[in-house]
Every structure is written in C-alpha cells, then in structure tokens.
Amino acid sequence: MITQRVDENIYEVPADMKLIKVEDKILNFNMKVPARIYANEYLMERISKDKSIDQITNVACLPGIRKHVIAMSDAHQGYGFCIGGVAATDIEGGAISPGGVGYDINCGVRLLKTGLEYSEVSAQLPELTEGLFHNIPSGLGSKGKLHITPTDLNQVLDEGINWAIEKGFGYDKDREFCEDHGFTQGADSSLVSKRAKDRGIRQLGSLGSGNHFIEIQRVEEIFDDRAAKIMGIQKNQVTMMIHTGSRAMGHQVCTDSLQEIDHLMHRNGIIAPDRELGYAISGTKEADRYLAQMRAAANFAWTNRHIIMHWARETFQSVLGLEPSQMELIYGLAHNILKQEEHDLGNGMRGMVNVHRKGATRAFPPGHPDVPDKYKEIGQPVLIPGSMGTSSYLCVGQEKAMDLSFASTAHGGGREMSRSKAKRQFWGKTIKQELGKQGIVVRAASLKILAEEAPLAYKNIDEVVGVSHNLGIIKKVAKLIPIGVTKG
C-alpha cells in the first residue's frame, strides 16, 4: 500500500482494494475511506514498524465506515485495531467492533490539583508515595479493600459514580468534572456475564498493573496562561494523576463479546479483514448487547477511578493534613470507549456515528455542549500522560479536532518496544535508580514492571503531543513532571 505525506503532520493511505489472505483463500476487501496517520517523521518511522497501518486500512474496509480512519501520533499495534486508533461508523448499518474499544474498557485518566507548592510537599514525598501504594491496592490480580454485595455491583454497573457518591466517596461536585459525569447511560448489568461479575466484584477500588499508575506531579511549565488560570493551575503547583480502567471486569466483557461476535459472524458467513476485527452491525440486537455490556464496564471503570481518587485524597490528608475538598478534580476522562456522537461526515453531511476511540482521547472544542461550563470558553480538558519518568500534558480540545479526528487526540506515550523486549533491554533496579537521580520517588509492586515500563520503551511524549498541538486538534496548557510514582 502507498502511504503519502499530504501535510507536515498528516500521512495518508488512499482508499484502495486490499487483498487479504484469510485462512487459505485470498479475498478482496475494499477500503471505503482513506486511512490517515497523524505524525511527524520521528513518529511515522516508529508507527511504520508494526502492524498499525495495516490495521487501520483493515478498519477502513468495515461496513458503514465514514470519512477516514485515523492512527494518532502515539499509535502502536493492538488486538485487531491499533491503540491510538479512531474510527466512526454509521449508526444504522455500520460496524461496531469490540476490538475498536479494547480489552480495558473505559481505561482513562483523572487529574487533581492540590493547591500546594512543590516546596510544601517535597520533604514528605517518600511518605506520600508509600501511602498511596498502601492505601490503593495495586498489582496484577489486586483486590479492592471494599466488600460490596452483588446488588451494589449491579448498581455500580448501571449508575457509575452515582453509586459511589451516595456511599460517601468523593463529592457531588466531582460529577461536573468527569466526562459523561462519571455515568455512561445505556448500561445493562443484567447482560454482564456471571464470570465478569465474579472477577470484578473484588477489584473495585484497585489500580491493576501494566501502564496503570498514580503519580504525584509538579507543574513544570505553563503554555497557556488563560486556560491555566481557569483550571486553577500554576507553575510549581503539585497535581496528582490517576490512570486505570475496568480491571478484569472490562477484560471479561471484551472476551465474552468477541466470542459471541465471532460466532455470529461465522453463522452469518461474514468474514472480516482480520479475525481479530470481528464486528456486529449497529442497530442489531447483537450490537446493542455489546454496547450495553461495554457501558456497564465503563461505569465500573468510572467508579474504580472515583474510589481510588477518594483514597488518594485521604492519603494526602493523613500525610500533609490537606483537607480532601481542597484537592479539586480538574477533569476525568476515558480513552478506550465507543460513543455515539454527532459529527460532520464530509461532503456537507452531518449525522450520528459510532466513534470508536481505542487509546484515543475525546477532545471537544470550546463551546461544545459536552464541555463543562467552567471550561466552555477554553475547550474540554485533555490529559495525556507520558511514561513513568517523563512529562504528562494537560491540554484542551480545539476546533480542528471536529474536522480532522472526530474530536479525538492521542492518549499517551504509546509503546515503542514490546514488554518482552523492554524486559530484555532494561533492568528494573537500574531504572529505579535512574529515576531517583531525577528526583522521582518510585514505589512499584515489582521490579519487573519497572523494566517493562522503562521510559525508553515508549515514544517521546513531547513529539506525540506536539503533533496534535501543531495540527490544531488540541492546545497545550501545562507540562507536568512526575515526582512520586506508584505502579502496580
């Protein structure tokens, strides 16, 4: 396939026929729209090395696909559909693909401010980091400290953070600063399998493993004074970021749905460009079934981050005497989710589409109805965490995102190296020492995870964010650097 550079930060594979070997036959698939990669040369070189571009051209062949399929600047290959991928399909007759959402349904990020300066916190950093690690269960297979009933779990799945706020976690005010108010409508807990519930019930309020983290940060640089002022952020202020998802609950929902959809396609004699890219047709009961389960898992993830946030606030209170209500939520968002939104579809058309964002962050521009009133004039806050030792960015959505990316942007550094390769290349203990030299306190469940998550295993976050900023999809507001990190 030909990849053309059509702009400084835009590469494109024009719509074309795709010959794909499926089992023993060569089949002809038709890309209905172009596939685009938003990248500069540095990132394009890396994105081209794995199956990402092949995966987005597969997605471009799906039924009802609209306008263009996008690989964001942090893209790397994933199950059937690259991470850092965005695709929109017709609400009637378009494809709905669990692979386009991912296993960690509603994985996402929250950012809180403390109102404290770095100098007021630095001496207690080891104690704070240790406190977070102890108060928030972390690591593979970690279980929450909560003991909830199956009825509670169903409420979590159906109502999201409303359940948690009612139980005394966090504040009413937190709702306003969460995407979807921390409650994804249209969930149906009765459709979620017993297995998913059995795995999930003990994990509410746990961090998990992989790239999930809680990070204490210092505001290193402000790029946009007006937006920073509205968000209440200033240089040297201490912030805290939480990154986790729906744990085994979302994983099991994805596994269950992929299996159901695989069987459905087989029964109907439909072949996808990739076995991993199974889909149901939007508007059918099979698609609705996936959506209702996906939304239930999304509500689990909203609530998981909410409870973790509550315990993190308590940790700051016990170590620094900081009043929990002083740690205000700046914003909480999802970056693995499918949403039905209205978009410009090109050629003067406009309509509702299924926007798959897999490792991609929603980035609504100023004035959009779904941007909280407080941020209406600056755009939706966008949180893009880097890897363990590198910066994270606080940004805001911009108008160009509506035309270029179905109001989406990158979600993080994006791996450059597989976990196994990182483990061969790095040694956890050395990574910890190197971070220590940079003034970063690290507390992790294992040294293995530090090797897998080594900063050099990820793409350069400054480049990743720079591409979206230069395209006008988002605007940089502040750069945050880690000072205390806990990892599962």
Which conformational region is residue 133 in: left (phi greater than 0), alpha (psi within -120 to 50 degrees), or beta? Answer: alpha
Residues that bind DNA (CB under 7 A): 103-104, 107, 140-141, 195, 198-199, 203, 208-212, 244-245, 247-248, 251-252, 488
Of 68, 251, 356, 411, which residue is the catalytic one? 411
Residue 199 vs 357, nearer CB to DNA: 199
CB of 245 to DNA, least distance (A): 6
Structure tokens at 220: 């290193």
CB of 52 to DNA, least distance (A): 15
Say if residue 213 carries a ligand binding annotation: yes
CB of 80 to DNA, least distance (A): 12
Q: Got the DSSP string for 378-412?
A: T--EEEE---TTS-EEEEEE-THHHHHSSSEE--S
> Rounded distance, CA 71 to CA 108, Å?
18
Residue 244 vs 293, nearer CB to DNA: 244
Which of helix, strand or coil describes residue 347?
coil
Say if residue 392 carries a ligand binding annotation: yes
Residues 6+ apart with CB under 8 A from 481: 217, 218, 220, 390, 391, 392
CB of 76 to DNA, least distance (A): 10
Say if residue 115 carries a ligand binding annotation: no
Residue 245 vs 273, nearer CB to DNA: 245
Q: Are 85 and 71 within 8 A, CB to CB? A: yes
Active site residue 76: no
CB of 83 to DNA, least distance (A): 8
Say if residue 412 carries a ligand binding annotation: yes
Say if residue 354 carries a ligand binding annotation: no
Say if residue 68 carries a ligand binding annotation: no
Residue type, 148: I
Residue 32 vs 143, nearer CB to DNA: 143
Q: Which long-range contacts (CB under 8 A, 24 or more apart) does 44-48 make?
A: 44/11, 46/76, 46/416, 46/459, 47/71, 47/75, 47/76, 48/3
Which of helix, strand or coil describes residue 198?
helix
Residue 211 vs 405, nearer CB to DNA: 211
Task: Name the one residue in this structure whose structure tokens are 């047709």.
Answer: 281
Q: Can you say which residues are annotated as belonging to the binding site for Mn(2+)?
A: 104, 212, 243, 335
Q: Can you say which residues are annotated as belonging to the binding site?
A: 104, 211-215, 243, 335-336, 385-388, 392, 411-414, 487
Question: Which residues carry out catalysis?
Answer: 411
